[in-house]
Structure 1
Amino acid sequence: MRRIGVLTSGGDAPGMNAAIRAVVRKANYHGVEVYGIYHGYEGFIQGKMELLDLGSVGGIIQRGGTKLYSSRCAKFKEQKYQLQGIEKMKDAGIEGLIVIGGDGSFRGAYALADLGLKCIGVPATIDNDVPGTEYTIGFDTALNTVVNAVDKIRDTATSHENTFIIEVMGRHSGNIALWSGLAAGAESIIIPEEPYDIDEIIARIKRGEARRKKHSIIIVAEGVMPASELARMLKEKSGIDMRITVLGHIQRGGSPSAYDRVMASRFGAFAVELLLEGKTRRAVGIKNNQLYDYDLQEIFKTEQKNTSGLYTLSKELSI
């Protein structure tokens, strides 16, 4: 294999640039050219690409977002467009493709691999919800962003003796809410993976007030309900006024943490190794700090990361 392509797809995640850099430099080290494909699968279909050399990926390891840009491409689900993109790759002499993104991006890579293009997936999403791997690029940075925001909100909550509801991202996963809530000492955490009880949340707030606690922080994952809806439910049952903060896309931006830079570098380099070994329809994963590869078909499983231990701990520590 003498020429490969790399693209980023779906939601951006801090560390994607570090992964792109690792792909290019690892491949160049082995004498392989790398073409960057712009705007995800939309650019793949149109053949929007350029040669990436060592200099073109210099100075990007610390940058958030993605140098190659990203997009969501509904028409890519149709096989005729997948085949159109594959022809563009063949015309450019590209023999293999590395796809950096989440489970939706991996589904696209799976389809391309079934049509004959060698594909390797690199997990990158702040939601940390890709089956088959314990970690995805961007999760650590997003967590730190949320925790820093919650720490600042807590100052105001204490000063005004308020209860704050903070809505965080994560789609159908509660990983950001759970981990950030535990790290920031939230009084209540509401996630899709675990049942919640409005009366219990209210009782927890009342217990805090009884021991002269000055504030309460509730973190809710967007996959459960909007913060405004939770505030309405709590107000109706308890009469307590809630302040609301929706952190939104601030969670996806910013310079990647040292951990995300290292993980992205490891993932990107390993993906190149897999292609050079002739593998296809595989994804990069990590378990117990060891890299491994697994079949992209794993993304079709409805596996959810086990949250029960951390969730129980968060409730025990917020009594």
Structure 2
Amino acid sequence: MKKIAVLTSGGDSPGMNAAVRAVTRKAIYHGIEVYGVYNGYQGLLQDKIEKLELGSVGDTIQRGGTFLRSARCPEFKDKEVRKQAIENLYKRGIEALVVIGGDGSYRGAQRLNEEGIKTIAVPGTIDNDINGTDFTIGFDTALNTIIDTVDKIRDTASSHERTFIIEVMGRDAGDLALWAGLAGGAETILIPEEKVQIEHIAERIQKGIERGKKHSVIIVAEGVMSANECSQELKKYINVDTRESVLGHMQRGGAPTGVDRVLASRLGAYAVELLMNNESGYAVGIKSNHLSKTTFDEVFKEAHQIDHKLYQLSEELSI
């Protein structure tokens, strides 16, 4: 293995830069040349590939986002289109690729691996929705961003005796909402994996009011409904003063936490180790704090599952 490339794809997540740094420095340490692909798969098609040196990744571990940038590239699904990407790698003598991203990025990596480019995928998404790993890079940072906001909102909710409905990201996965709700002491958590009737939420709020509770916080995952929709549905069953907050893309930004920096460093370096051992077609991850590898077929075999015991615990503690 003499030359490898690295790219970031899909939605950005805090810690992606730390992962690129780990890939770059681990490879150079072992005498391997590293090339950065700018703008994800789109950049691979457009030949936006530059050699990375040790200094190229200096002062990046603390930065959010991705200095390699990212872009959506739906045309990459076309095999004829991918041939150009592969040619751009081959003409530089690049033998392998590390892809940092989420589910869609993994599918592109799987195709490239099947077509002759040794590929390893690294989980970079705040949604924590990748099968084969307990945590994804960026999840912890986004979680702490949400918790910080929930703490601030609770102050004003208490002051004005209101019910605040906070909409968080996560697409079709509920981990962000679940963990943020449990850590932030939310009275109600709405996630795609658990079906809850709005009238039951109204009953819970009413019981709280009857025992003297002055405010409530509801965390709703965007994959369930919007905060505004939740508010309108709630008012069908209870007369309560509500306010909605949509956190949006602020959840993706900011300096990565120490947890995400360490996770990204471990996974990025592990990806290089696998390639050095002539292994490819794997997604790396972390399971019970141990590095793991999962074939792409296994990753796509079933959807990521939330910890339902955590959800039950949130129900028990929010009475």
Q: TM-score normalised to the size of structure 1? A: 0.99
User: Which residue in 1 is equivalent to 2:198?
Assistant: 198
AA of the residue aligned to 2:268: G
User: Which residue in 2 is equivalent to 1:259?
Assistant: 259
Partners of 1:60 and 1:300 in 2: CA distance: 31
Deviations 1:21-66 (A, max 9, x none): 0000000000001000000000011110111111110000000000
User: Which residue in 2 is equivalent to 1:233?
Assistant: 233
Task: Note the C-alpha offset of 1:241.
Answer: 2.9
AA of the residue aligned to 2:298: E
Partners of 1:259 and 1:9 in 2: CA distance: 21
Q: Secondary structure at the match of 1:23?
A: helix
User: Which residue in 1 is equivalent to 2:151?
Assistant: 151
User: Which residue in 2 is equivalent to 1:283?
Assistant: 283
Matches within 5 A, 1:150-189: 150-189=150-189
Q: TM-score normalised to the size of structure 2? A: 0.99
Q: Secondary structure at the match of 1:178?
A: helix
**Equivalent pair of 1:193/1:307 in contact (CA under 8 Å):** no
Question: How high is the sequence identity, in percent, across the aligned residues?
Answer: 60
User: Which residue in 1 is equivalent to 2:32?
Assistant: 32
**Equivalent pair of 1:282/1:294 in contact (CA under 8 Å):** yes
Partners of 1:170 and 1:298 in 2: CA distance: 22
Q: Secondary structure at the match of 1:312?
A: helix
Partners of 2:231 and 2:45 in 1: CA distance: 44
- Give the alignment's Cα RMSD to 1 decimal: 0.8
**Equivalent pair of 2:35/2:49 in contact (CA under 8 Å):** yes
| Bigger shift: residues 144-153 or 44-53 | 44-53
**Equivalent pair of 1:75/1:81 in contact (CA under 8 Å):** yes
Deviations 1:195-229 (A, max 9, x none): 10212111111121112112100000000011111
User: Which residue in 2 is equivalent to 1:270?
Assistant: 270
Matches within 5 A, 1:68-147: 68-147=68-147
Partners of 2:279 and 2:241 in 1: CA distance: 57
**Equivalent pair of 1:22/1:268 in contact (CA under 8 Å):** yes
Partners of 1:300 and 1:212 in 2: CA distance: 48
AA of the residue aligned to 1:293: K
Q: Secondary structure at the match of 1:121?
A: strand
Task: Note the C-alpha offset of 1:306.
Answer: 3.4
Q: Secondary structure at the match of 1:292?
A: strand
Task: Note the C-alpha offset of 1:303.
Answer: 2.3
**Equivalent pair of 1:102/1:124 in contact (CA under 8 Å):** yes
Q: Secondary structure at the match of 2:223?
A: coil
User: Which residue in 1 is equivalent to 2:248?
Assistant: 248
Task: Note the C-alpha offset of 1:293.
Answer: 1.1
**Equivalent pair of 2:4/2:33 in contact (CA under 8 Å):** yes
Deviations 1:88-123 (A, max 9, x none): 000111100000001110000000001011000001
User: Which residue in 2 is equivalent to 1:18?
Assistant: 18
Runs of 5+ unmatched residues, structure 1: none
AA of the residue aligned to 1:111: R
Runs of 5+ unmatched residues, structure 2: none
Partners of 1:182 and 1:306 in 2: CA distance: 13
Partners of 1:208 and 1:240 in 2: CA distance: 12
AA of the residue aligned to 1:11: G
Task: Note the C-alpha offset of 1:234.
Answer: 0.5
Partners of 1:301 and 1:239 in 2: CA distance: 45
Q: Secondary structure at the match of 1:300?
A: helix
Q: Secondary structure at the match of 2:235?
A: helix
Task: Note the C-alpha offset of 1:301.
Answer: 2.1
Task: Note the C-alpha offset of 1:307.
Answer: 2.7
**Equivalent pair of 1:165/1:218 in contact (CA under 8 Å):** yes
**Equivalent pair of 1:13/1:125 in contact (CA under 8 Å):** yes
Deviations 1:265-288 (A, max 9, x none): 000000000111111111101111
Q: How many residues align?
A: 319
Task: Note the C-alpha offset of 1:237.
Answer: 1.8
Q: Secondary structure at the match of 2:279?
A: coil
Q: Secondary structure at the match of 1:172?
A: coil
